[in-house]
Amino acid sequence: MTLYTSRQIGLNGRHGGMIAPVIAVGGCDLHGPQSALSPAGVGAEQISSLFWWMAGGAVLIWAVVIGIALYATLARPRKKHDVQGARWLIIGGGIVFPTVVLTILLSYGLMLIPKLRSTGNVDLHVAVSGEMWWWRVRYTSPAGEPVELANEIRLPVGKRVSLSLTSPDVIHSFWVPSLSGKVDMIPGRENTLILEPTKPGTYRGVCAEYCGASHAFMAFRVVVMEPQDFEAWLTHQAQPAVSSGSPSARQGEQAFLVNGCGACHTIRGTAADGRVGPDLTHVGSRLSLGAGMLPNDAQTFARWIGHTQQIKPEVRMPSFGMLPEEQLTALATYLSGLK
């Protein structure tokens, strides 16, 4: 919220010297990539229209009740103000009117539930698991092979996508405000959320349930693409890793295998087949590092590997700051080259 004086917004003349506070909503970005009020999916559209109807109902009730209160306080006593009339004003404006408005809003909200919860007619299935503190994402390739990725979900525009949501240890909550409502990820359970994106673009998702030290550091991106671009992307992601083969990248690949990184990470096409941490087969092609925390370039990659625990407290991966600078650089060159 921002307070402006009349001068700041250019109101001069008769009102020039008067401070006319104008309240403008300046602090919240209604059209950002993480806004429930700028919907880009069917679920978010319904939730946003519910929000505006409820806001309208609240303003209406407020205006009527305050109007009656002002009338009651300011009106001069006159003969025709009888007890009967006052009673009807209180019952009508204070009880009947709010009850009718709230009942209409409740019915409208309840009517949206069956459509929001329906899980039929699905074009694509994606499995997402909330980890400490990142997102494991699993697709099935066009050839029927499982393809695992991390911290990035790509979706074809106009299709109905079923996400099966779970977690191996603690409760997280999956939320992409621009596309839909939030759903908890509960260990031992599989919850379903339908996403039906309507506008291509890149949206931001977050964990909406406190889940430990780095709860605030597990963001992700959802990229909504044209269906043919999505197919091409998924086909590429299903391929094994291709290293640039430069001397530094070769040294990095050696360092990756020698230092035991493959015990936790998979790089398809190499001996690394760990399952604890994110799959790194195409890590260089991702939009961010460390689950939405850092830009994805070689320099940042080296910093991430050397200072993992400082950047993301209590994450399962230890910091590898004990490695010589040259090895860190080679590792970063190798990994950021896996496009």
By the criterion CB under 6 A, which residues form the site for ligand CUA? 130, 133, 172, 207, 209-211, 215, 218
Q: Write out the DSSP string of 59-79.
A: HHHHHHHHHHHHHHHHSPP-T
Q: Write out the DSSP string of 130-186.
A: EETTEEEEEEE-TTS-EEEEESEEEEETT--EEEEEEBSSS-EEEE-TTT---EEE-
What gap in Å lies between CA 224 and CA 202, rounded to an integer? 6
Beta carbon nearer to ligand CUA, 311 or 328: 311
Q: In whole angstroms, how close is the CB of 289 to ligand CUA at the nearest point?
A: 18
Beta carbon nearer to ligand CUA, 208 or 257: 208
Q: In whole angstroms, how close is the CB of 155 to ligand CUA at the nearest point?
A: 21
Beta carbon nearer to ligand CUA, 173 or 237: 173
Q: In whole angstroms, how close is the CB of 62 to ligand CUA at the nearest point?
A: 35
Q: In whole angstroms, how close is the CB of 129 to ligand CUA at the nearest point?
A: 11
Looking at residue 331, its amino acid is L
Is-contact 194 122, C-beta < 8 A?
Answer: yes
Beta carbon nearer to ligand CUA, 189 or 236: 189
Q: In whole angstroms, how close is the CB of 212 to ligand CUA at the nearest point?
A: 7
Angle between helices 97-117 and 42-74 (to 10 degrees): 170
Beta carbon nearer to ligand CUA, 219 or 234: 219
What gap in Å lies between CA 280 and CA 189, rounded to an integer? 27
Q: What SS3 class is residue 45?
A: helix
**Can you say whether the dihedral through the CA atoms of 29, 31, 34, 39 is positive or negative?**
positive
Q: In whole angstroms, how close is the CB of 162 to ligand CUA at the nearest point?
A: 21
Q: In whole angstroms, how close is the CB of 339 to ligand CUA at the nearest point?
A: 28
R_g of the chain, CA atoms, integer Å? 27
CA atoms within 13 A on the CB side of 60: 14
Instruction: Identify the CA nearest to 257 among candidates 146, 147, 336, 335.
Output: 335
Q: In whole angstroms, how close is the CB of 174 to ligand CUA at the nearest point?
A: 9
Beta carbon nearer to ligand CUA, 61 or 208: 208
Residue 10 φ/ψ region, left for φ over 0, alpha for ψ in the -120 to 50 degree band, beta for the rest: left
Q: Which helix (H) or strand (E) holds 99?
A: helix 97-117
Beta carbon nearer to ligand CUA, 183 or 207: 207
φ, ψ for residue 263 (rounded to 5)?
Answer: -70, -25
Beta carbon nearer to ligand CUA, 211 or 241: 211
